Structure formats: C-alpha cells, structure tokens
Amino acid sequence: MKSTGWKFSKELPHDQLSGVSAVWFGFFQQKNLEVWSYESHLSALELGVASAEEIVETTRGVSGGAAGPYMKQSTHYGAYGVIGNLLILCEQEVSVCKEFAEALP
C-alpha cells in the first residue's frame, strides 16, 4: 500500500470486527482512511459491508466521542469501498476510495 502514497499512522484493535485480520488507520491525499483486511474478497463483502454501512451512517454529521470505537474521534467516514480483500472507510466521499483503489498495484 505504500506505493499508493498511503501514510500509515497506526494499527487499531480489530477484535470487535468479525473476520478482520488487521485494521490500519492512515492518510491518503490528506484524507483519513481506515483499512480493514480480510482473508478474501468474499469475506470482506459478507462480513464487512454491514459494519461499514453502519459506521458511515452513524458518523455523518457526528463528532467527538460519538464518532465510534474504530476510528479517530473526529473522523467522519462518508463512504467505503471493497477492493479485493480490503474494506476501506473513506473520509467525506467515495472518490477518495476510488483514487486509492486506482493507485494500488
């Protein structure tokens, strides 16, 4: 992921996310991204999409401690994308996810 311009910040706990092997928080084009790694693309779809949709819905227009357990408290994830075995939560809009996907090798 480094070849994309991704700036890793920290690894986050993933024990509350079913099927996730790792969660990373970082930056891409000055936007916050959270990357969840699954065993396969199918696992990312089946196990991750519902959680991602819930996070996107609950963090729209929310700040501070109400933002949620898996993210920086001030981060608003406006979109997500599933790219291979990765589920990406994207700050503000899906175009950030698309640009990240296009930059992947």
Mean pLDDT by 10 residues, the chain (105 residues): 75 90 89 92 96 86 52 70 92 80 81
Domain count, the chain: 1
The tokens for 51 are 């959680």
Entry pTM: 0.78
Distance CA 81, CA 52 (A): 9
Q: What angle do CA 72, 74, 31 make, to 5 degrees?
A: 80
Residue 77's pLDDT is 86
| Domain region containing 77 | 2-103
What sign for the dihedral angle of Cα 60, 73, 15, 91?
positive
Residue type, 46: E
Residue 104's pLDDT is 80
The tokens for 46 are 């089946």
Output the domain CATH number for residue 17: 3.30.200
